[in-house]
Amino acid sequence: MKTTTRMAALAASGVLAVTGVAACSSSSSGGGSTSGSAKPAAQVNNLTGEHTQVTFDSGFVQALQSLKVTPAPLGSASISKAGVATFPITGGNVTYYKPGTRNPYVVGKIDHNGSGLSLTAGGKTVKLENFVVNPGTSQLMGKVVAGGKTVGNDVYLFFLNGKTLQPLATGPNNTAILQGTKVYLSPAAASTLNKFFGISALSGKTLVGVAKITINT
């Protein structure tokens, strides 16, 4: 695949991962097809490296502190002193269609196996791990383990809204960078955390932070 085509596909994957459902469905007014008859304009069958990063929102950090909830990285994830969580990309695929020919026009997944985030309060811990970005729905799914028991392996955890997405940029070592998407707790995740920790402060409107996706081209 030519570099320009790969870049287009990577840009599409980032747009999908960071834009809301409305943005991904914007082609519906143009008579887009969902039948699968449209031919891909670009395709990346195997995503490799680098990572998805989330800079925690100060309001989210303050809320956790007030609730005495402590976040920590799991597996290969890391959290910097500046409050930036990094989750390595371990695989996945992206297919991009010309807008108007299919709805949604970007499909695939971005895997982050072996990493995640734990939240601990009052001696109880919830683990959110093995994140998977679903391009077609702008959702981030993952495994949830609460109190040592698995709640689910494909739980809707975060909504990715990319109305503030910045233009695609190129980074060092032949990487493509998309940043600016806002990450919100899903209603289901907020409800689970509230119930487990005995709180009521979290909701589907809780802004977790802003994402930056760096992908090898």
Question: Residue 104 in contact with residue 36, Cβ under 8 Å?
Answer: no
pLDDT digit string, tens, across residues 173-208: 888 888 898 999 999 999 999 999 999 999 999 999
More confident residue, 29 or 162: 162
Tell me the mean pLDDT in the region 57-75.
Answer: 95
Contacts of 103 (CB under 8 A, 6+ apart): 24, 25, 27, 28, 32, 33, 34
Instruction: Tell me: pLDDT of 163 over 90.
Output: no
In the chain, pLDDT over 70 holds for what percent of residues?
83
Query: What is the predicted pLDDT for the residue at 8?
Result: 54
What is the arithmetic mean of pLDDT over 124-134?
95
CA angle 34, 36, 38 (to 5 degrees): 100
Do the beta carbons of residue 190 and residue 204 sit within 8 Å?
Answer: yes
The structure's pTM equals 0.82
Radius of gyration of the chain (CA): 17
Q: Percent of the chain beyond pLDDT 90? A: 54
User: What mean pLDDT is reported for the chain?
Assistant: 84
- For residue 179, the number of C-alpha atoms closer than 13 Å in the C-beta half-sphere is 15
* pLDDT value at 76 more than 80: yes
Higher pLDDT, 65 or 42: 65
Residue ranges with strand state E in 147-202? 149-161, 169-171, 175-185
Q: How far apart are CA 182 and CA 161, in angstroms?
A: 5
Q: Please tell me the predicted confidence (pLDDT) of residue 86.
A: 98
Helix H or strand E segment including 85 = strand 84-88
CA distance 160 to 133: 9
Give the phi and the psi of residue 7 in degrees, each rounded to 5: -65, -40
Higher-pLDDT residue of 174 and 34 is 174
* pLDDT band of 12, cuts 50, 70, 90: low
The count of domains in the chain is 1
Q: Which residue has the tokens 């494909």?
A: 154
Q: Domain containing 29: what range?
A: 3-216
pLDDT at residue 44 in the model: 78
